[in-house]
């Protein structure tokens, strides 16, 4: 699966070697991987007895994980494991890669031809706003779609106070907008 010429996304095979696979296969493996993570109750606790904000939290031992008090991480006090944030980041990055592939390889056909580009833009711009504000994606992760980020900062899709906006080169976005106006 790729996103433009500079970005090729590989999947680890059974021997943990990065392997080039077609996008549709990458997406179904990715979907399965994300579902397995979300269904993993160690990672995303679903039982009230394991999360400290649950009604019977008073009975929950916050030292369920054998760690020293000096160690801290996102979600620790609510019963989430140490790798919770890093796994969430990987989930966001995997989803981002699918969007990047859709924009590079399928924006015109089928999205534009089917009049669905507005829906795609709406989904992706909201995804970027959320992912960046939660620190799930870094500025360098957005490189395959930097032009889009620049454009959305310039045309007001990203509010100026948003993190996504801070990752944009607004001047480049303004130039892109001018090109669009001249072309139409």
- Is the CB of 33 or the CB of 111 nearer to Zn ion? 111
Of 22-30, 46-54, 110-118, 126-134, which part binds Zn ion (CB under 5 A)? 22-30
With CB under 5 A as the contact rule, the residue among 105, 121, 146, 172 that binds Zn ion is: 105
Phi and psi, residue 136, nearest 5°:
-90, -20
Residues 110-143 as b or e (16 or more Cβ within 10 Å = b): ebeeeeeeeebbeebbebbbebbeeebbeeebbe
- Is the CB of 109 or the CB of 182 nearer to Zn ion? 109
- Report the C-alpha gap between 11 and 108 in whole angstroms: 26
CB of 27 to Zn ion, least distance (A): 8
Of 45-53, 67-75, 98-106, 174-182, which part binds Zn ion (CB under 5 A)? 98-106
- Is the CB of 32 or the CB of 106 nearer to Zn ion? 106
**Cβ-proximal residues to 58 (8 Å cutoff; 6+ apart), any chain:** none
- Is the CB of 105 or the CB of 130 nearer to Zn ion? 105
Quick check: bond before 110 cis, omega within 30? yes
Number of residues that bind Zn ion (CB under 5 A): 2
| Span 142-181, contacts to Zn ion by CB under 5 A | none
With CB under 5 A as the contact rule, the residue among 23, 120, 134, 139 that binds Zn ion is: 23
CB of 52 to Zn ion, least distance (A): 43
3-class DSSP state for residue 12?
strand
- Report the C-alpha gap between 80 and 65 in whole angstroms: 10
Of 54-62, 103-111, 114-122, 162-170, which part binds Zn ion (CB under 5 A)? 103-111
Long-range contacts of 34-43 (CB under 8 A, 24+ apart): 34/91, 34/94, 34/95, 37/87, 37/91, 42/81, 43/80, 43/81, 43/83, 43/84, 43/87
CB of 125 to Zn ion, least distance (A): 21
| Span 49-68, contacts to Zn ion by CB under 5 A | none
Given the rule CB under 5 A, which residues bind Zn ion? 23, 105
């Amino acid at each position: 699966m790729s996103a433009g010429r500079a970005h090729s996304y590989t999947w680890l095979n059974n021997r943990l070697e990065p392997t080039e696979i077609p996008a549709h296969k990458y997406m179904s493996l990715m979907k399965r991987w994300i579902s397995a993570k979300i269904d993993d109750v160690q990672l995303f606790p679903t039982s009230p007895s394991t999360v400290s904000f649950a009604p019977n939290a008073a009975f929950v031992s916050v030292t369920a994980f054998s760690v020293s008090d000096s160690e801290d991480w996102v979600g620790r006090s609510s019963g989430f494991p140490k790798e919770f944030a890093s796994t969430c980041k990987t989930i966001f990055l995997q989803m981002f890669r699918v969007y990047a592939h859709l924009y590079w390889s399928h924006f015109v056909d089928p999205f534009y031809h089917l009049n669905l580009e507005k829906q795609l833009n709406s989904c992706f711009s909201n995804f970027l706003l959320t992912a960046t504000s939660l620190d799930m994606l870094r500025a360098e992760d957005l490189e395959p779609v930097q032009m889009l980020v620049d454009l959305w900062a310039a045309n007001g899709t990203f509010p100026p106070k948003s993190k996504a906006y801070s990752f944009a080169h607004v001047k480049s976005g303004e130039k892109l907008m001018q090109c669009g106006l001249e072309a139409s």
